[in-house]
Amino acid sequence: MRDLTTGKESTQIFKFALPMLVGNLFQQFYNIVDSIIVGNFINKEALAAVGASFPVIFTLISFVIGIGSGATIVISQFFGAKKYDQVSKTIDTILIFMLFVSILISVIGLTFAENIFKLLLLPDNLIPQAVEYFHIYIAGSFVFFGFYTISSILRGLGDSKTPVYFIVIATIFNVLLDLLFIIVFEWGIAGAAWATVISQGGAFITAIIYLNRTHELINFSVRNLAFDKEIFKKSLKIGLPTSFQQSFVALGMTALMGIVNQFGTNVIAAYSVAMRLNSLATLPAMNFGSALSMFVGQNLGAGKLERVRSGYISTILMSVVISIIVTLIMIFFGENLMQLFTKDANVIAIGAEYLIIVGSFYAIFAIMFSTMGVLRGAGSTIIPMFASLLALWAVRLPVAYVLSDQIGYTGIWWANPMGWFIGLVIVVAYYLSGRWKTRGIVASRDEIDLSSTPN
């Protein structure tokens, strides 16, 4: 566990963000390895089918992830205020919630998969493979939610290192199982899905066993779990805006995939690969923003507002510098990166163009996400939700639809940075207003322990 309320702000945030970044890089490596092996050892149709599945998967799980993020903020603020009994109750509550919701998600996904892909205008030749991959992936949603919950709990407690160890091990097994199932057993696209589910499930079970034996605040026991309605309400209060944001973002990405699907297999495959690389490229900014949320949560809980301001400035500087480096990589080496996934010249050219256009604006994304990190850490999650939804639904989707009709699929690529810019303007304006400073959970009237207040 890490106490983020003392020490140099930039150092604390960097040290907290780095393990998260490494862990999420390995987490992304799951999808990247799947795509590389699928693209090279099956065909571009399978590559496109895998890519078309992910917006749908993200749509189904995004609402739950938002609730989990709310619980993480609650944990971080209780931990910063040294209210360890409340920390334990929050952990129990979020675990019970995740258990029941994961079952519901699996049922919905298994029932409506084919209808969803048809609704998104996925070409008929891609639907069977997309459904096959999606069914296996979503059936294993319990292990994904379980491991995500454990990682979120630990980060709320200031421990961003432990999840990394399990992710690294899981990623290594995922690579080995991919090679075994796809190349040796020739299971096709199903092999990629099974490799991911099995390796993630192994990480989840191993994490539970390890933490039960070693962690002082965590003890996972099904018989001893207790659901706290009040804490769940607090988690919902913070997490629901993020949940709605995530859900509508996911729906928007799914709708965007519907626009992409109209341009055929080459564009779908290129977009799928470029999105993998884009997700990798934006991870530093996202993880610095997430680390800043934990930093802000603990320091607001401890009443140290000046550290919040300093941490915000430091995070922007670090994120922008890294984003500029990543931009240069995407511009000058984007085509080489695309070649890792496929040898099809048309797919490579289309994907490289995406990386040049979108990658040129990563600094804007970094500043936006750092600002959102402050607001979420303070419990002020409505504005980030509003900014994300407006940027996607009022800017990116309409622009993509209009420009794709006027100049082709390239118009879809240009819509992305336009949305980021609008989101940046909104969240920075709210940060400068200062209203987020009064949104802390622990500082609310019903949480103050009057017996400990000096006379």
∠ CA 263-268-271, nearest 5°, is 115
What pLDDT, on the 0 to 100 scale, is given for residue 439? Answer: 60
> Average pLDDT, stretch 229-257?
84
What pLDDT, on the 0 to 100 scale, is given for residue 450? Answer: 28
DSSP calls for 320-368: HHHHHHHHHHHHHHHHHHHTTT---HHHHHHHHHHHHHHHTTHHHHHHH
Pairwise CA distance, residues 75 & 319, whole Å: 25
Pairwise CA distance, residues 238 & 235, whole Å: 5
- Phi, psi at residue 379, to the nearest 5°? 90, 5
Q: Does pLDDT of 289 surpass 50?
A: yes
- Phi, psi at residue 203, to the nearest 5°? -65, -40
Sorted by sequence, the CB contacts under 8 Å of residue 279 that are 6+ apart come out as: 28, 31
> Average pLDDT, stretch 310-331?
96
Q: How far is CA 391 from the centre of its chain?
A: 18
What pLDDT, on the 0 to 100 scale, is given for residue 114? Answer: 95
Between 216 and 233, the more confident residue is 233
Q: Are 380 and 228 in contact (CB under 8 A)?
A: no
What pLDDT, on the 0 to 100 scale, is given for residue 443? Answer: 46
What pLDDT, on the 0 to 100 scale, is given for residue 440? Answer: 58
What is the band of 441 on the pLDDT scale with cuts at 50, 70, 90?
low
Six-digit token string for 69: 């993020």
- The pTM of the full predicted model, rounded to 2 decimals, is 0.81
Q: Are 193 and 46 in contact (CB under 8 A)?
A: no
CA distances from 117 to 258, 267, 397 (A): 9, 17, 19
Q: Does pLDDT of 449 surpass 60?
A: no
> Average pLDDT, stretch 437-453?
46
Q: Does pLDDT of 453 surpass 50?
A: no
Q: Does pLDDT of 451 surpass 60?
A: no
> Average pLDDT, stretch 262-269?
96
CA distances from 3 to 77, 322, 372, 453 (A): 11, 25, 22, 23
What pLDDT, on the 0 to 100 scale, is given for residue 138? Answer: 93
> Average pLDDT, stretch 208-217?
77
Burial environment of residue 413 by CB neighbours within 10 A (0 to 12, 13 to 18, 19 or more): buried
Q: Does pLDDT of 454 surpass 90?
A: no
CA distances from 79 to 152, 214, 219, 272, 369 (A): 14, 18, 16, 40, 24
> Average pLDDT, stretch 337-360?
96
Pairwise CA distance, residues 338 & 273, whole Å: 7
Q: What is the mean pLDDT of the chain?
A: 87
Pairwise CA distance, residues 89 & 95, whole Å: 10
Pairwise CA distance, residues 21 & 93, whole Å: 27
What pLDDT, on the 0 to 100 scale, is given for residue 292? Answer: 93
Between 435 and 332, the more confident residue is 332
> Average pLDDT, stretch 304-321?
93
What pLDDT, on the 0 to 100 scale, is given for residue 66? Answer: 77
Q: How far is CA 130 from the centre of its chain?
A: 22
Count of CA atoms in the C-beta half-sphere (13 A) of 249:
22
pLDDT cut 90: percent of the chain above it: 53
What is the band of 386 on the pLDDT scale with cuts at 50, 70, 90?
confident
Pairwise CA distance, residues 25 & 168, whole Å: 9
Q: How far is CA 50 from the centre of its chain?
A: 18
pLDDT tens digits, 90-138: 888 888 888 888 899 999 999 999 999 999 999 999 999 999 999 999 9
pLDDT tens digits, 159-208: 777 888 888 888 889 889 999 999 999 999 999 999 989 998 998 888 88
Q: Are 143 and 197 in contact (CB under 8 A)?
A: yes
Six-digit token string for 205: 């079970």
Pairwise CA distance, residues 233 & 304, whole Å: 26
Q: Are 92 and 280 in contact (CB under 8 A)?
A: no
Pairwise CA distance, residues 9 & 21, whole Å: 18
CA distances from 13 to 294, 382, 426 (A): 9, 24, 24
pLDDT cut 70: percent of the chain above it: 94
The three state secondary structure string of 73-140 is: HHHHHHHHCCCHHHHHHHHHHHHHHHHHHHHHHHHHHHHHHHHHHHHCCCCCCCHHHHHHHHHHHHHC
What pLDDT, on the 0 to 100 scale, is given for residue 87? Answer: 82
> Average pLDDT, stretch 51-67?
85
The dihedral region occupied by 434, where left means phi > 0, alpha psi between -120 and 50, and beta the remainder, is: left
What is the band of 455 on the pLDDT scale with cuts at 50, 70, 90?
very low
